[in-house]
Structure 1
Amino acid sequence: MGIDPNFRTSRQVTGDHSGHKVYAPADPPPVPKEKALGIHGTIVGVDFDLCLADGSCITACPVNVFQWYDTPGHPASEKKADPINEQACIFCMACVNVCPVAAIDVKPP
């Protein structure tokens, strides 16, 4: 199972992080509720609760959309690929295609 492709309409915005929206975690989340981080980004959404931090999206992205973000104590991984530069996305889908857990969804604004 990967990222919820309807998260932009099916989940509440719960905050803002580094200039992008954060959407509520899944109910029930794939990790314990107290550790759930939700989905970061709108154009390029990364489900932080699925992300395993293998770095393939960071390597594949030709326009440097992602940056590592530390998430100490998270059961899936202690860092995440944060879409801090999602406005630069050229919609090549390289990140989506290489993510081993389908934690990324890209949609033009």
Structure 2
Amino acid sequence: MGIDPNFHHARTVVDQHEGHDVWGPVDEPERLGIHGTHVAVDFDECIADGACVEDCPVDVFDWVETPDHPASTRKADPARQPDCIDCMLCVDVCPVDAIDVDASRGE
């Protein structure tokens, strides 16, 4: 299914995590929301493939543990989204389209 590119209109910020917004709904452990704004990762879609973590040229992502989530027990968290250079590589390599980058939504 992939991330909704209009999530910032369809969802509301329900929390903060490591300095970035978390867009709900969140109902742990099954629903974890979308993490980030400029670089956004749908934690419910992420399967922890790791391509974004490995391929990002500026190390935007960190792994975070998400025990008992049905898709995967860890997620690629946009911990350093202000460092993003908008190359879109993470978007291109994500096998489930769980990532969206939009410079106009910068944080």
Q: Residue in 2 aligned with 1:25?
A: 25
Matches within 5 A, 1:2-81: 2-25=2-25, 35-81=30-76
What is the aligned-residue RMSD (CA, Å)? Answer: 1.5
Q: 1:69, 1:76 → 2: CA distance?
A: 14
- Secondary structure of 1:105 counterpart: strand
Residues 39-71 of structure 1: CA deviation (Å, up to 9, x unaligned): 000000000000000100001100000000000
- Aligned partners of 2:14 and 2:25 also within 8 Å: no
TM-score between the two structures when normalised by the length of structure 1: 0.91
The size of the alignment, in residue pairs, is 104
Is 1:87 the equivalent of 2:76? no
Residues 53-98 of structure 1: CA deviation (Å, up to 9, x unaligned): 0100001100000000000000000000000000000000000000
Deviation at 1:10, TM superposition (A): 1.2
Q: Which aligned runs of 4 or more in structure 1 are off by greater than 3 angstroms?
A: none
| Corresponding letter in the other structure for 1:4 | D
